[in-house]
Chains A and B, each alone.
Chain A
Amino acid sequence: MNRLIRIGASASAVLLCFAGSVRADEAATKEIAEVNKKIVKVWGSGGLHGLPGFGTGFLISGDGYILTADAQLLDTRDLRVHLWDGTKYHAEVIAQEPELDVALIKIKPASDADKIEDLPHFDLEETAKRPPVDVGTEVLAFSNCFEIATRNDPVSVQHAYVTAFAKLQGRNGFYEMPYNGKVYMVDAVTNNPGAAGGALTTRKGELIGMIGRGLRNELTGTWMNYSIPINAAAEVTQPDGKVVKTSIVDVWLQKEKYIKANANGQQTKPGRTFDRILRETTGIVLVADPVDITPPYIDDVVPGSPAAQAGMRSDDLIVYVGGVSVKTVDDYKQMMFHYPPGQKVQLELRRGDTLMTVELTLAKLAERK
């Protein structure tokens, strides 16, 4: 598997220029305070094995729609957000667009009487009208990196210059980096744990991008600091094989489609969430996990899959993954995150009164067009 990150960049994109001549001696304190009101701290699944259980998002409507990164964080029924003023809400996932690495979530009011309106937010349609910023532009990155802030603590803000506007192709663990459009590269360390889903803005506080997840260059060991432009389009393969161009703005504009699909219990497209990848590479279908402490019982095994070949059956209980005890479905997922497709993993199962060890060779992911 190619785990290199390639930065394909046209000559125009990597050259430095002094397009932005905003002086650094006037602090953007006011703009920072305004943007901070539009940023939310997100808490969800994770917290084990180096996967942060926290992230960042930003409000794009007065009634509580939030854009964030399409990360494992969202794989929970207990998704929570903290607004700038410390108000705490539960949130639900409205739409996930893995190809853009973006998700749309919405605040759930605490009660019917709780009207959510007039929240400070970015105007996404206004954002869409702006051209991409130039290389050399001074930008600000807002995120809850390292979970430094809680409740009404302001999020962290970093200062950077755009160093490139270029295509990014990368892979992270055995997640494909699905987004294949251009990204803003910056010269500050913005993509820290918990920063994904944060906002990249101009010095005036105008939204231009969403901070991406951590991507490491296997060759140099360095981490990429990039943001996905709000209005730059990426090529996305539709379920019917058709390739269309879409952007983060489109996800917002077409949210009705997602909401309707979700209401009918179906997804609009087979997004490659970690759960789906795990099912595809193992062939293991676990029992539904309505509570956080559900033990990882196998519900079904896909015929011909690695799990079937290893002799696994329904009603087996997975007790160890690679020698590490897993007590819940969540533990199991966290551990499996460390085994990329194509690798071998040793599982210990309890079947009735006996313990048995099986070795699973994870299937490679089907090539995506």
Chain B
Amino acid sequence: MSIRPALRRLWPAFLGAVGFAALFTPARGLDVDPRLQKDEQDRIALIEKIKAPVLAVLAPGGQGGGSGEIITEDGYAVTNFHVAAAVGSLFHCGMANGEMYDAVLVGLDRPGDLCLIKLIQKPNQTIKFPTVAIGDSDQVKPGDMTVALGNPLLLATDFNPTATFGMVSGVHRYQKIPHPTGTLLEYCDCIQVDTAINPGNSGGPLFNMKGEWIGINSAGSLGKSDRINSGAAYAISVNMVKNFLGHLRAGLECDHATLGAEIDPENEDGGLGRLVVGRMLSGSEVDRRGLAPGDVVTHFGGVLMTNLNQFKNRLGIYPKGWRVPMTFRHDVTEVHDVLVRLPGRTADVLPDKNPQPGAPPEGAPADEDSGPPPLPPPPPNTDAAKLFVAKPGFANYYFNKLERDALIDSFHRQGDFTAFQGPWSLRGDCTIAKKPTSAEVAVRPPSKDQKDDLILGTVDGTAYKIDPLDTATTLKDLMDPPDSGGMLLALYQYRQLMTQGEKGFIGQLSHGGVEPFYPPSVVGSPPDYRKRVMCDVLRTKQAGVATKWYFRRADQDKWYMPQAPTGELIGFEVSPDHDEDPCEVYLADYAQQNGGSVPGRIEVVCKGKTYAVMTNVKFTMEK
């Protein structure tokens, strides 16, 4: 009771009167601080500058819709999966200038609530679409002002977007929402804003005050007033979108990563949250890298981990299959730095150790044919229907084939060896276990003496002979020489890609999106995680053996942006056994041989250890 400041009643009353006048006679303008006037003008100018690529996304028939934004001049645009789920594979998109375009579904990331679509040019007319300027959501801080553009409540009949301003309330948030289709939408590392976000804003852009696109407005906390703005809304961070753009553009049905080990919820006694490893999925890569129950994860994806939300955030922004650095402590004292290929959340179940008759062969990844039911295809006789091919495992196979063919073409432009259908071999100086020796690997195509391809090799004085297509060939044979993870088989796969092209991979030949690749910097030293190279990935399967081929992307700074493939193959991974580490092959020192560019240096790595380094490699190919 002692401290009770006198209320200053008169003073606010006086100021109030001034404000009243200013509010109702804005034309006079004189009473308004010029800085406020400038702020207002800046805001108006900002909206004008950024609104062109904002889309009103509508379902044919007008039932429901959302928002979107165009990211490339040839018309790729993003929206939410939950918008696509309500719309289908054919979208009507209204642009801010009042023009209406049709768009077709390209790629889907259901758990991440992302969808890539492509606007279809009108007949006899090709325009450059306006695009958003892509920002960096890791730079966003609580307190930053933002503007959301979109089509809340489907208000704009002329598609001129609605603008709402607000502040960033929090970053690196984790939220999850079940979707009626059965998918759990997880918003990992998302941006929380108090900017008014209402139904219909979904899929639309969140901008910072520089006009850079930083997020996709997607969800809000359910307040007390149904689905209307509750003061806490969430935008998918644009940096997560970047990680998935390559996959989406390849028409994939994306999955997010998991760890292959459970992290126990926070320990109950005080102190900082520690991420203690609980149950492990046996046979997972973290298991093979030495992670054990009771170990403490300290860094993930290069970020210090101090609570479970943070870990879920970091894990959730990666697509399935990405290789990510991780640091953990074992027995408190041992610190392990490892690279881990992250398994998927939904389809990546462990293969059955005792397969039933008729079951897919061991080593076959359990994807492709499983997964959620696809979205309905576009109605026939529409332009969108010409750009749509349904196939399990893909959101729209048409775009996968498009990207895949462009990637293979670019590879053949580096060196087309498809004329060399005869015997093929390579040999070179070789270092195995720091000991100089030699290696020669040859592939002999089918002849009158033999039914199948035959791999012949002499490595470090030992001769090998493998029939990779014979069902009697054991897994152990396929993984020869010992400790190499399957070097002979890997080089056989390389010959398939060089000389056979599409017909060399009957099992699978598809674009695998964009992934990081970690070349070994110095022989024998661990890979430098900071020197990752972003690559276009080609996925193949031949004779039950899955291979991922890594092609360097042209622009490593804007690695996430669509770009013409280089065809520069810098490495590949061959997995004879889905349950074991693949045989990694790194290619370097390309030079001209046989009328094309081939690597002069081949390094073979398995389980994080270099098995062999071949130099002065000479290829011999016969037609």
Instruction: Please report the C-alpha to C-alpha distance between residue A128 and residue B169 in the assembled complex, in whole angstroms.
Output: 27
Partner of A152, one of B19, B142, B169, B306: B306
Given contacts A13-B12, A15-B20, A18-B33, contact A32 B143 (CB under 8 A): yes
Instruction: Please report the C-alpha to C-alpha distance between residue A178 and residue B474 in the assembled complex, in whole angstroms.
Output: 80
Question: B170-178, B426-434, B565-573: which lies at the A interface?
Answer: B170-178
Given contacts A15-B20, A110-B269, contact A188 B224 (CB under 8 A): no
Min CB–CB distance B456 → chain A (angstroms): 59
Instruction: Please report the C-alpha to C-alpha distance between residue A246 and residue B4 in the assembled complex, in whole angstroms.
Output: 8
Min CB–CB distance B537 → chain A (angstroms): 34
User: Are the C-beta atoms of A17 and B18 separated by less than 8 Å?
Assistant: yes
User: Are the C-beta atoms of B307 and A158 separated by less than 8 Å?
Assistant: no
User: Are the C-beta atoms of B272 and A110 separated by less than 8 Å?
Assistant: no
Min CB–CB distance A135 → chain B (angstroms): 6
Provide the residues of chain B in CB contact with A32, threshold 8 Å. Answer: 141-143
User: Are the C-beta atoms of B142 and A153 separated by less than 8 Å?
Assistant: no
User: Are the C-beta atoms of B12 and A231 separated by less than 8 Å?
Assistant: no
User: Are the C-beta atoms of A88 and B221 separated by less than 8 Å?
Assistant: no
Contact mask A196-230 → B, CB, 8 Å, 1/0? 00000000000000000010100001110000000
Min CB–CB distance B314 → chain A (angstroms): 13
User: Are the C-beta atoms of B3 and A128 separated by less than 8 Å?
Assistant: yes
User: Are the C-beta atoms of A158 and B145 separated by less than 8 Å?
Assistant: no
Min CB–CB distance A131 → chain B (angstroms): 5
Partner of B309, one of A13, A18, A151: A151
Provide the residues of chain A in CB contact with B172, threshold 8 Å. Answer: 153
User: Are the C-beta atoms of B12 and A165 separated by less than 8 Å?
Assistant: yes
User: Are the C-beta atoms of B3 and A145 separated by less than 8 Å?
Assistant: no
Min CB–CB distance B174 → chain A (angstroms): 9
User: Are the C-beta atoms of A157 and B271 separated by less than 8 Å?
Assistant: no
Q: How large is the interface on B (under 10, 10 to 19, 20 to 34, 35 or more residues)?
A: 35 or more
User: Are the C-beta atoms of A231 and B170 separated by less than 8 Å?
Assistant: no
User: Are the C-beta atoms of A192 and B230 separated by less than 8 Å?
Assistant: yes
Instruction: Please report the C-alpha to C-alpha distance between residue A115 and residue B3 in the assembled complex, in whole angstroms.
Output: 31
User: Are the C-beta atoms of B7 and A131 separated by less than 8 Å?
Assistant: yes
User: Residue on B with the closest CB to A214?
Assistant: B224
Given contacts A87-B271, A253-B2, contact A23 B231 (CB under 8 A): no
Min CB–CB distance B111 → chain A (angstroms): 20
Question: B35-43, B251-259, B288-296, B442-450: which lies at the A interface?
Answer: B35-43
Provide the residues of chain A in CB contact with B175, threshold 8 Å. Answer: 148
Partner of B143, one of A28, A88, A244, A247: A28
Provide the residues of chain A in CB contact with B22, threshold 8 Å. Answer: 17-18
Contact mask A162-174 → B, CB, 8 Å, 1/0? 0001000000000
- Interface majority SS on B: helix, strand, loop or mixed? loop
Contact of B209 with A by CB under 8 A: yes
Contact of B127 with A by CB under 8 A: no
Given contacts A18-B32, A249-B3, contact A134 B39 (CB under 8 A): no
Instruction: Please report the C-alpha to C-alpha distance between residue A130 and residue B6 in the assembled complex, in whole angstroms.
Output: 10
Instruction: Please report the C-alpha to C-alpha distance between residue A146 and residue B194 in the assembled complex, in whole angstroms.
Output: 13
Partner of B166, one of A17, A159, A214, A223: A159
Contact of A155 with B by CB under 8 A: yes
User: Residue on B with the closest CB to A27?
Assistant: B143
| CB-CB contacts below 8 Å: B193-237 with A | 194, 209, 221, 223-225, 229-232
User: Are the C-beta atoms of B35 and A244 separated by less than 8 Å?
Assistant: no
User: Are the C-beta atoms of B143 and A188 separated by less than 8 Å?
Assistant: no
Instruction: Please report the C-alpha to C-alpha distance between residue A153 and residue B307 in the assembled complex, in whole angstroms.
Output: 8
User: Are the C-beta atoms of B36 and A88 separated by less than 8 Å?
Assistant: no
Instruction: Please report the C-alpha to C-alpha distance between residue A154 and residue B3 in the assembled complex, in whole angstroms.
Output: 32
Instruction: Please report the C-alpha to C-alpha distance between residue A232 and residue B16 in the assembled complex, in whole angstroms.
Output: 20
Given contacts A15-B16, A17-B15, contact A31 B143 (CB under 8 A): yes
Min CB–CB distance A89 → chain B (angstroms): 6
Provide the residues of chain B in CB contact with A85, threshold 8 Å. Answer: 272
User: Are the C-beta atoms of A25 and B209 separated by less than 8 Å?
Assistant: yes
Min CB–CB distance A166 → chain B (angstroms): 11
Partner of B170, one of A10, A148, A250, A253: A148
Min CB–CB distance B44 → chain A (angstroms): 14
Partner of A19, one of B12, B20, B169: B12
Min CB–CB distance A277 → chain B (angstroms): 22
Interface centre among A11, A88, A216, A232 (most CB of B within 10 A): A88
Instruction: Please report the C-alpha to C-alpha distance between residue A153 and residue B85 in the assembled complex, in whole angstroms.
Output: 32
User: Residue on B with the closest CB to A36?
Assistant: B142
Partner of B194, one of A18, A33, A189, A231: A189
Query: Which 4 A-B pairs give the minimum distances between C-beta atoms?
Result: A17-B19, A189-B231, A12-B13, A15-B16
- CB pairs A–B below 8 angstroms (29 shown): A10-B9, A15-B20, A17-B19, A18-B33, A19-B19, A23-B39, A24-B145, A27-B143, A27-B144, A29-B142, A29-B143, A32-B142, A86-B272, A87-B272, A114-B270, A125-B3, A131-B5, A135-B16, A146-B232, A152-B273, A152-B306, A158-B194, A189-B223, A192-B232, A223-B223, A223-B224, A231-B5, A245-B4, A249-B3
